[in-house]
Amino acid sequence: MTTADPALTRPRLIATGGLTAVRRNPLLVVLVVMVPVFQLTTGSFLDPANLSGIATDAATLAIVAVPLALLVISGYLDLSVGSTLALGGLVAGWLAGQHHQSPAIALLGALAAGAVVGAVNGFLCCHLGLSAFIVTLGMLTAVRGLAQQLFPLPLSGFGSGFAWIGGARVAGLAAPVVIAALVLVAGALFLALTPAGRHVFAIGVNREAAHLSGIHIRRTPFALFVATGVAAALAGAIKASVLDSAVAGTSGAGFELTVLTAVLLGGVALTGGTGSILGVLLGVLFLGGLQNGLTLLNVPTFWQQMAQGVALVAGAALAYAAPRTGR
Amino acid sequence: MTTTNLRVSGLTKSFGGVRALDGVDLTVPAGQVHALLGHNGAGKSTLIKCLGGAFPPDAGTIEIGGTTYTRLTPRESIAAGVAIIFQTLSVVDALTVAENIFLGQEWTRHGRVDRRAQEEVAAGLLERVAARCSPRDRVGDLPTGQRQLVEIAKALSRSASVLVLDEPTAALSGAETDALAERVEDLRAQGLAIVHVTHLLAEVERLADAVTVLRDGRVAHRTTVAGRTRRDLVAAIAGRPAEAVRGPRRTPTPPRLVVEGLRGPGFGPLGITVAEGERVGLFGLIGSGRTRVLETLYGRRRATAGTIRVGDRAVTPARPADALAAGIALVPADRRAQGLFPSLSAQDNALLPALRPLARHGVRALRAERRVFGALAAAVGLRPARPGLPAGAFSGGNQQKLVLGRWINEARHVDVLLLDEPTQGVDVGARQEIYRVVSALAEEQGTAVLFASSDPEEIVALADRCLIVARGRIVGELSGTELTEQSLLSAVHDPLPAEGAA
């Protein structure tokens, strides 16, 4: 995608003008078709209980997808989030369960672990200039190994205080949903209203030109790596709290690809320089809705995975085939 | 017997309303070297690219070896016998010489590449161009001159009858240049029609049988070389007799940029002083080190020695942000690679460095941004002045205005403006506007302007004073009435003794 998003200039937090919004986010159309189809076929898709279930499932996805999307827009990538999620959950659970620390301390411990992973990624990619693909692919394995070494046995029984992180209700909404909403809004505000948000796009489009414009081309992506690590660990703590368990070998396995799928479906280009938080939200909702609908229809897991994969490739093909408007 | 290998008639090509080629004729018989001269943007590269099939001409015909084409694809061009050796060579470093020569036309035996046969034939071709490398050498290990010969050998393997050389000596050493000249003479003797694009009059005198000078997309001059003096050629390129309209600068002003003993890889030591409100040109051929000097002043490269002062503050820029903090800004030469964000809006492009200074408590000042952009667009004459239009949709000239606008707005104060080839790929109208904007900046705000150019016309139009750069050193200085296109061209072609060097 080389066409720009003029809304970037005059920031609009919510896309205005129906047609433009649809053209920029073709996923809107897909959602508009998907929701009634699932409602008609399952009969319970739109039940409040089910919707809240979708929202809770989608929340952890959204929390990681937002910083990851920013990272991809700036021209980088993080494949290690699944393992960081596991590490975050384990650290939080270990602090809360084994050491009877308060939920706040447990959460902070998880976030710190995520920040360290993110900082290592950021240092290697931004300061040493190594390929983000290779570095974070390595970290995907290395962090998983570290988690298994530190916590060889599954952890559970984190206590009622810790369960609050994933289970509390705020204004009728589950806490993870509220956190995800905050992350989404923060991401959108960051992109639209801060200089650094513009720098993210500039670095993603043309790193050399950004450097010659006097922008600190290492600082912002480094911060985004740290933010992505922190977000992954936060998602891990939430999952551990909801499930009251964390397993080094399996927690968050494959999560990195699901998040990346949501981000790419949301219109963020892997080449950097384009994307929006609204798109990411749609990508997350689409994936969450698809999984949930297919589960309600008793579609076997393997077929669900296939559907997810097909959706990603179809999305890419559509974006490629779509007429390039001369905007 | 003379056959005509190449005949171009009435070739016309426009890009977005700008005529890059306007009814150009060019005839090159077999066994002749035809020099193609002209400033940057005169249409030389467009002509070459039409020959190579990179884009179709709007009108006109290209006749190669008796067949007439109105448009060519790259494949047809090669099949017709055209070989173009660009400045940036298209050899593959990781392959051997023989593999490069037969790339895409491999000889096979029983479905496998027949290396031995390829290497045998390659050896013969290399002999024809008197290359000193073996068919089995890895191309990446060869010096530039030999790589170029490999590319010419590749052209010969496709039985090329028309050879186009695009500034072939720009990247070569002196000895390599001589060697190439001999090869060109050999190939002419072998009956090829050769189009030789160059800036160097010495090459024209040595090699060319005929000369065509392009200016603004038209044939400005055509001559056979026999009996021509260098002065005649210079006048032909410049297009008009000397215009000495500049007087000496009004009142002397205090120095704004003072560079002493600056050294870096490939240049120096050199000293440059630019006074407040002064516009100083750095004139030199491609590869003379101009760009390195500017990039070092801007902190994109590290200096190995020397001092840089802005006013009386010493600056040691380690990165562009440091230089900007000291008031030094650069408009880079390669807009596409170093300047533009094509998919971002015009406003984002022009205001990128201004966002932080304008922001309040870390939040963008949207209204102020719009106002500053409006003022900037008016100041540089941006057309269309639409903030939301992606920069890639603007013409080259207006893209350059956006890049220039980064440093010409109320949110960014610049004491020293560096420009590298400020009007490369910019049409004539926008060029004048850019000169006007830069001059106004110097006059009204006292900005010290230091710009590099390989276009004598541009130096004369924009500079108060000009430093001649060759091999990374300043070898001369021209100002006042001495500063003419003729004197500039003579200065680079017969460098003065390095008395002006600091």
DSSP summary character for residue B391: G
Pairwise CB contact (< 8 Å): A209 & B340: yes
Query: Which candidate, A307, A281, A282, A283, places its Cα nearest to that of A293?
Result: A307
Question: B132 and chain A: CB distance < 8 Å anywhere?
Answer: no
Q: Residue B267, SS3?
A: strand
| Chain B contact set for A201 (CB, 8 A) | 341, 344, 348
Q: Which residue of A has its CA nearest to B357?
A: A195
Tokens representing residue B238 in the block? 């410049």
Residues B364 and B388 in one domain: yes
Mean pLDDT over residues B95-115, rounded? Answer: 89
Residue A313 lies in a domain: yes
Q: Which residue has the higher pLDDT, A90 or A16?
A: A90
- Domain of residue B396: give its range: 343-413
Q: Among B190, B210, B238, identify where a domain stops.
A: B238
CA distance to A62, A168, A223, B404, per residue, from A54 (Å): 12, 16, 30, 50
C-beta separation of A72 from A272 below 8 A:
yes
Residues B194 and B55 in one domain: yes
Stretch (H or E) spanning A227: helix A219-243
Residue B58 lies in a domain: yes
| Chain B contact set for A199 (CB, 8 A) | 352, 355
Rounded Cα gap, residues B356 and A55, in angstroms: 37
Rounded Cα gap, residues A180 and A192, in angstroms: 18
Residue A33 lies in a domain: yes
Chain segment A56-100, per-residue pLDDT in tens: 889 999 999 999 999 999 999 999 999 999 999 999 999 999 999
Residue A161 lies in a domain: yes
Count A/B contacts: CB-CB distance under 8 Å: 105
| Contact residues, B window 333-372, toward A, CB-based 8 Å cutoff | 337-345, 347-348, 352-353, 355-356, 359, 362-364, 366, 370
- The Cα of B100 is separated from the nearest Cα of chain A by a number of Å equal to 29
Residue B355 lies in a domain: yes
Any idea what the CATH number is for the domain that residue B231 is in? 3.40.50.300
Indicate if the pLDDT at residue B86 is higher than 90. no
ipTM value for the complex:
0.84
Residue A1 lies in a domain: no
Indicate if the pLDDT at residue B42 is higher than 60. yes
Give chain B's mean pLDDT: 87
Chain segment A102-148, per-residue pLDDT in tens: 999 999 999 999 999 999 999 999 999 999 999 999 999 999 999 99
- The Cα of B325 is separated from the nearest Cα of chain A by a number of Å equal to 9
Residues B293 and B371 in one domain: no
Pairwise CB contact (< 8 Å): A274 & B345: no
Any idea what the CATH number is for the domain that residue A208 is in? 1.10.3470
Counting the structural domains of chain B, the total is 3
Residues B156 and B268 in one domain: no
- The Cα of A272 is separated from the nearest Cα of chain B by a number of Å equal to 11
- The Cα of A207 is separated from the nearest Cα of chain B by a number of Å equal to 8
C-beta separation of A291 from A39 below 8 A:
no
Stretch (H or E) spanning B210: strand B210-215
Q: Which residues of B405-444 are buried (b: 16+ CB within 10 A; e: fewer)?
A: bbbbbebbebbbbbbbbbbbbbbeebbebbbebbbebbee
Residue B160 lies in a domain: yes
Residue B335 lies in a domain: no
Residues B189 and B305 in one domain: no
Pairwise CB contact (< 8 Å): A210 & B352: yes
Q: Predicted confidence band at B14 (pLDDT cuts at 50, 70, 90)? A: confident
Query: Which candidate, B395, B400, B389, B405, places its Cα nearest to that of B344?
Result: B389
Residue A327 lies in a domain: no
Q: Which of A67-81, B57-71, B418-432 has the highest mean pLDDT?
A: A67-81
Pairwise CB contact (< 8 Å): A9 & B347: yes
A-interface mutation test, from B295, B340, B341, most A Cβ less than 10 A away: B341
Q: What is the pLDDT of residue B172?
A: 74
Residues B397 and B419 in one domain: no
Residue B69 lies in a domain: yes
Chain segment A260-275, per-residue pLDDT in tens: 999 999 989 889 999 9
Indicate if the pLDDT at residue B255 is higher than 70. yes
- The Cα of A215 is separated from the nearest Cα of chain B by a number of Å equal to 7
Query: What string of DSSP letters covers A36-91?
Result: HHHHHHHS-TTSHHHHHHHHHHHHHHHHHHHHHHHHHHTT-----HHHHHHHHHHH
Burial class (CB in 10 A: 0-12, 13-18, 19+), A99: exposed
Indicate if the pLDDT at residue A14 is higher than 50. no
| Chain B contact set for A194 (CB, 8 A) | 359, 362-364
- The Cα of B322 is separated from the nearest Cα of chain A by a number of Å equal to 8
Residue B9 lies in a domain: yes
Q: Predicted confidence band at B495 (pLDDT cuts at 50, 70, 90)? A: very low
DSSP summary character for residue B352: G
Query: Which candidate, B365, B346, B298, B297, places its Cα nearest to that of A211?
Result: B298
A-interface mutation test, from B343, B358, B399, most A Cβ less than 10 A away: B343
Residue B470 lies in a domain: yes
| Tokens 């006007």 sit on residue | B436
Mean pLDDT over residues B239-261, rounded? Answer: 68
Chain segment B142-201, per-residue pLDDT in tens: 888 889 899 889 988 888 899 999 888 776 776 778 888 888 999 999 899 999 988 777
Share of chain A above pLDDT 90, in %: 69
Residues B175 and B39 in one domain: yes
Pairwise CB contact (< 8 Å): A326 & B393: yes
Helices A160-167 and A175-193, interaxial angle, to 10°?
50
Residues B71 and B192 in one domain: yes
Rounded Cα gap, residues A296 and A300, in angstroms: 10
Indicate if the pLDDT at residue B494 is higher than 60. no
Burial class (CB in 10 A: 0-12, 13-18, 19+), A199: buried
Pairwise CB contact (< 8 Å): B343 & A2: yes
- Domain of residue A27: give its range: 6-321
A-interface mutation test, from B352, B361, B370, most A Cβ less than 10 A away: B352
Tokens representing residue A5 in the block? 């998003």
pTM of the predicted model as reported, rounded to 2 decimal places: 0.79
- The Cα of B156 is separated from the nearest Cα of chain A by a number of Å equal to 38
Counting the structural domains of chain A, the total is 1
CA distance to A106, A154, B217, per residue, from A150 (Å): 16, 11, 71
Question: Which residue of B338, B387, B389 is in closest CB contact with A209?
Answer: B338
Q: What is the pLDDT of residue B228?
A: 67
C-beta separation of B447 from B416 below 8 A:
yes
Return all residues near A204 (Cβ < 8 A) that are at least 6 apart.
A72, A73, A74, A75, A271, A272, A273, A274
Residue B172 lies in a domain: yes
Residues B320 and B443 in one domain: yes
Residue A181 lies in a domain: yes
Q: What is the pLDDT of residue B239?
A: 59
| Chain B contact set for A186 (CB, 8 A) | none
Chain segment B266-299, per-residue pLDDT in tens: 898 999 999 999 999 999 877 788 999 999 999 9
Pairwise CB contact (< 8 Å): B343 & A194: no
Residues B255 and B170 in one domain: no
Pairwise CB contact (< 8 Å): B359 & A194: yes
Rounded Cα gap, residues B194 and B221, in angstroms: 19
Mean pLDDT over residues B242-250, rounded? Answer: 47
Residue A102 lies in a domain: yes
Indicate if the pLDDT at residue A240 is higher than 80. yes
Share of chain B above pLDDT 70, in %: 90
Query: Which candidate, B279, B327, B276, B268, places its Cα nearest to that of B302?
Result: B268
- The Cα of A125 is separated from the nearest Cα of chain B by a number of Å equal to 19
Tokens representing residue A264 in the block? 């790419």
Q: Which residue of B has its CA nearest to A1?
A: B343
Indicate if the pLDDT at residue B2 is higher than 60. no
C-beta separation of A256 from A72 below 8 A:
no
Output B424-428 pairs: Cβ under 8 A, ≥24 positions apart.
Answer: B424/B40, B424/B41, B424/B333, B424/B335, B425/B41, B425/B335, B425/B396, B425/B400, B426/B41, B426/B396, B426/B397, B426/B400, B427/B18, B427/B41, B427/B395, B427/B396, B427/B397, B428/B216
Q: What is the pLDDT of residue B145?
A: 84
